[in-house]
Amino acid sequence: MAKFIEGKVVEQHRWNERLLSLSVEADPIAFEAGQFTKLALPVEGEMLARAYSFVNTPHERPYEFYYNIVPEGALTLRLARLQPGDAVWLAPAAAGFLVLSEVPDARNLWMLATGTGIAPFLSILKSETAWTRYSRIVLVEAVRQAQELAYRDTIEQFKRERAGRFTSVQFVSREQAPGALCGRVPQAILDGRLEAAAGVELSAASSQVLLCGNPGMVTDSVHALAQRGMKKHRRRSPGHITVENYW
Ligand SMILES: Cc1cc2nc3c(=O)[nH]c(=O)nc-3n(C[C@H](O)[C@H](O)[C@H](O)COP(=O)(O)OP(=O)(O)OC[C@H]3O[C@@H](n4cnc5c(N)ncnc54)[C@H](O)[C@@H]3O)c2cc1C
Domain boundaries, the chain: 5-90, 100-245
SS3 124: helix
Count of CB atoms situated within 10 Å of the CB of 155: 18
Residues 56-71, mean pLDDT to the nearest whole number? 97
The class of domain 5-90 in CATH terms is mainly beta
Mean pLDDT in the chain? 97
- What topology does CATH give the domain 100-245? Rossmann fold (3.40.50)
Q: How far is the CA of 247 from the centre of ligand 1 (A)?
A: 6
Q: How confident is the model at residue 2 (pLDDT cuts 50, 70, 90)?
A: confident
Question: Model's pTM, two decimal places?
Answer: 0.98
The backbone torsions φ and ψ at residue 15, rounded to the nearest 5 degrees and listed phi first, read -75, -40
Answer yes or no: are the C-beta atoms of 111 and 241 closer than 8 Å: no
Q: How far is the CA of 194 from the centre of ligand 1 (A)?
A: 27
User: Measured from the CA of 119, which atom of ligand 1 is nearest?
Assistant: 8
Q: What is the pLDDT of residues 164-192, one digit of tens each?
A: 999 999 999 999 999 999 999 999 999 99
Answer yes or no: are the C-beta atoms of 99 and 109 closer than 8 Å: no
pLDDT reading at 81 higher than 90: yes
Among 16, 23, 50, 151, residue to substitute to test ligand 1 (most atoms within 8 Å of Cβ): 50
pLDDT of residue 188: 98
